[in-house]
Amino acid sequence: MITLLIFLVLNLVIFSANKSEDSKLFIADTHHSKLTIEQKEYFKKLKDLDKYNSNKKLGSFVENGRTFFRLFAPSAQNVLLVIFPKVEDNSGQHYEMVSDNDGVWETNLSGELYGTFYGFKVIHADGKGNDTLCVDPYAKAVATFNTYYSPRKSIVVKEDDYDWQGDDWIKRDWRDLIIYEMHIRDITVHPSAGAKFPGTYKGLTEKGIAGGMDYIKSLGVNTVELLPSQEFANIEIPYKDSMNGKYNHWSPYERNHWGYMTAAFFAPDAFYSEGGKKLQWNKWEGASRKQINDFKDMVKAFHQEGIGVIMDVVYNHLSEYEIGNLKEIDKEYYFRLDENGNYIAQSGCGNDLKTERPMMRRLIIESILYWMKEYHIDGFRFDLGKLIDWETIEEIIREAQKINPNVVFVCEPWGGGYDPMGFSLRGWGSWNDQIRNGIKGENPDNGHGWIFGKWYGNNNPDRIKSYVNGTLVKDKNGLFQKKEHAVNYLESHDGYTFGDFIRIATREVDPEKIITDVDKYIKLTPLQLKLNKLGALFLFTSQGITMIHSGQEFARSKVIPYDPKSLDKHSGMIDHNSYEKDNETNYINYNHAKLNKELLDYYKGLIELRNKYEAFRRTDYKDVAFYDIKDNPFAVGYALNYQDDLFVVLFNANPTMKEEFVLPAGDWDVLVNESTAGTKSLGKAKKKIILNPSTGCVLKKK
């Protein structure tokens, strides 16, 4: 009875959240009385589109010796299929398509047309679209011409045509995840990686080189999170120029490096298959379709090492600058619009997808399931997850768990609001920005956190203890129903690296100063090294999912290569937003890992500790006992009692004073001190231990 009552209350909470949030975020006509007659008619037109829905298979596919092409575009007046014999052909054969009552346009041609290049011309009532070739939203592979606007052609693909050699998903308990967030290109493109196929899927499968797979395996992490690898727009509009109503005043690099401008939700990015050392402008890429098998080879290679693969995916907005996608197919169905037909852009990326529309929801869910079944993907991280409506969020995880009950779903719980608790109620994990800001701080100028002996915002000793336990809702100001919903991290692709944050916050590095000798600058000072270790120790001993960003383990720095002729006024300085830089700002330099080997080894030791001892992942809330410390607000100590293991974890984040801790009775092995981390005893302790400023330790009872 009690269980049933809890179930009913939880569902009532979720239902109420659905109604209030969806009405707040996604109904644009709340000020209906102020609209003109034309605007009211426009909103009625948009509302009428809600009735269109279909269960028909979409995209291109082969059945009974014929190739079918289907496109959902309910607002279109006419749709033409265009077939191209060669990818570089400018004109092709046109075929009329026929629409059903549900908004699906269809035609079919004789033969199994695998490898055929095609697109759609979608004509609307205003006459727009006659000359625009649109990519199939369900295309399983696309060829892209590398220039502004990124013209694309879809390719007919034979699915389920790969020898997985018995491969299956990595079915890992979320509590055991140690995630390594990484960019496919960055991890092998630098010469220090030694890759024969730098910057590619294939480069990640190489063995016996300094970077890539062997390096990742040596760290001990068990999951990689790939920055966006669905086909995306690699090129932005010209600097100091305008195209298609957009003016580029921010990026002299004219590139999108991270990939948060998705173009095709079912297709792997071809640049990581064919790009190698450099993007080839004014050239077709992806026509060979080799990106499909290259991606699968990469996933299989990770799985063979016991490493899961999570994809970073972007379903909240679409590529902003290119033409020939959902914007031209059916803007009024697929996007959130205001009363004047302008894109709503809470994402900050020019357009927000209308995920609450049935066929947009279907596209998202079928895309996720496709990557799971066709590519053996183990999980997903959703960019700006709060911009996706709750009903879609719930259906995504429900349908995915039918295929793999252990599939991982985490997100940024912000975008159209902030609601980690809402995601946790629905079984999702979220990036825990509380631990990030509480431990390191919000910014390195005047927003320093606990490792610096400061309180950022409303941070306090009780909140530090809450982070240890997984930032649970049972603690005041907690966020999560379960510890495994908290993705604990100190660094991601966004913002300063953790190493640079510390360099700037300690005032040992001036962020406005030009750095010409990066190798000399990258070497950590004693203070920087100590703070990096302190933050890492707290991260790896806290309950929840652990995530680090690539290079964090050696205090990677993002310095823009100095060029006095560069149009970038920050050339030679530390970068905190390197999304557009396909250069050494982003590349992983393995020589720098050697320069900071002590920190690298410390991270390896912490990962080994967390992997070996379940206490740091699975200890119950009631079995974590905190020291009552009166004289030092920045000191934290606690005991973990898990099965037959008893640990004591101690921190002194005070930068000026030592702290003495009295140990429980018995003999203790020191596994982590201010110099070294691991699972082997570094010495014995009994009765008490004294920590120097800005240090920590882990002890295990003999």
Tell me the CATH number at 627. 2.60.40.1180
CATH code, domain carrying 140? 2.60.40.10
Instruction: Say yes or no to pLDDT of 510 above 50.
Output: yes
- Please give the sequence-ordered ranges of beta strands (E in DSSP) within 64-148, or none if there are none: 66-72, 78-84, 93-96, 98-99, 104-110, 117-123, 142-145
Question: How high is the pLDDT of residue 40?
Answer: 94
What burial class does residue 228 get, using C-beta atoms within 10 Å of its C-beta: 0-12 exposed, 13-18 middle, 19+ buried?
A: buried
Please report, as a single letter, which amino acid is at residue 588. Answer: I
Asked whether residue 371 is assigned to any structural domain, the reply reads: no
Identify the DSSP state of 191: G
Distance CA 155, CA 135 (A): 9
Residue 356 lies in a domain: no
Write out the residue range of the structural domain in which residue 636 sits: 622-701
pLDDT at position 5 is: 36
What is the pLDDT, as a whole number, of residue 13? 42
- 18: pLDDT confidence band, cut at 50, 70 and 90? very low
* pLDDT tens per residue across span 216-232: 999 999 999 999 999 99
Q: What is the pLDDT of residues 327-351, one digit of tens each?
A: 999 999 999 999 999 999 999 999 9
- For the chain, percent of residues with pLDDT exceeding 90: 91
Residue 63 domain-assigned? yes
User: By the 8 A CB rule, do 407 and 372 touch?
Assistant: yes
CB atoms under 10 Å from CB of 629, counted, come to 15
**Of 126, 155, 184, which residue is a domain's last?**
155
Rounded Cα gap, residues 664 and 639, in angstroms: 9
- Confidence band of 32 (pLDDT split at 50, 70, 90): low
Q: pLDDT at residue 422 above 70? A: yes
More confident residue, 63 or 320: 63
* Rounded-to-10 torsion of CA 359, 362, 367, 369: -170
**Mean pLDDT across the stretch 656-672?**
97
| Residue 227 in domain | no
- Angle, in degrees to the nearest 10, between helices 358-375 and 326-334: 130
At residue 245, what is the residue type? G
Residue 83 pLDDT greater than 60, yes or no: yes
**Residue 22: pLDDT over 80:** no
**Residues facing residue 686 across a β-bridge:** 688
Which residue, 155, 187, 221, sits at the end of a domain? 155
Domain count, the chain: 2
Question: Would you place residue 3 in the very low, low, confident or very high pLDDT band (cuts 50, 70, 90)?
Answer: very low
* 2: confidence class by pLDDT, cuts 50, 70, 90: very low
Provide the β-strand partners of residue 700.
647, 669
- pLDDT value, residue 128: 67
Binned at pLDDT 50, 70 and 90, residue 247 comes out as confident
What does the pLDDT read at residue 131?
Answer: 86
Indicate the pLDDT class of residue 31, thresholds 50, 70 and 90: low
Q: Which long-range contacts (CB under 8 A, 24 or more apart) does 629-636 make?
A: 629/659, 632/657, 632/659, 633/460, 633/461, 634/450, 634/453, 635/659, 635/661, 635/691, 636/461, 636/464, 636/465, 636/468
Q: Give the pLDDT of residue 379.
A: 98
Give pLDDT, residue 23.
40
Q: Which residues contact 404 (CB under 8 A, 6 or more apart)?
A: 169, 171, 372, 378
> Which of 105, 122, 155 represents a domain boundary (last residue)?
155
Average pLDDT, integer, range 676-691: 97
Each residue of 134-177: pLDDT tens digit? 999 999 999 999 999 999 999 999 999 999 999 999 999 999 99
Q: What is the dihedral of CA 211, 270, 258, 397, to 10 degrees?
A: -100
d(CA 186, CA 212): 9
566 domain-assigned: no
Residue 15 has pLDDT above 70, yes or no: no
pLDDT above 50: residue 645 = yes
Mean pLDDT for the stretch of residues 470-486: 96
Above 70 in pLDDT, residue 16? no
Axis crossing angle, helix 358-375 with helix 390-403, rounded to the nearest 10:
30
Q: Is the pLDDT of residue 6 over 60?
A: no
Q: Is residue 19 part of a domain?
A: no
Provide the pLDDT for residue 243: 82
Q: Residue range 655-667: average pLDDT?
A: 97
User: For residue 117, is it within any domain?
Assistant: yes
The answer to whether residue 163 is domain-embedded is: no
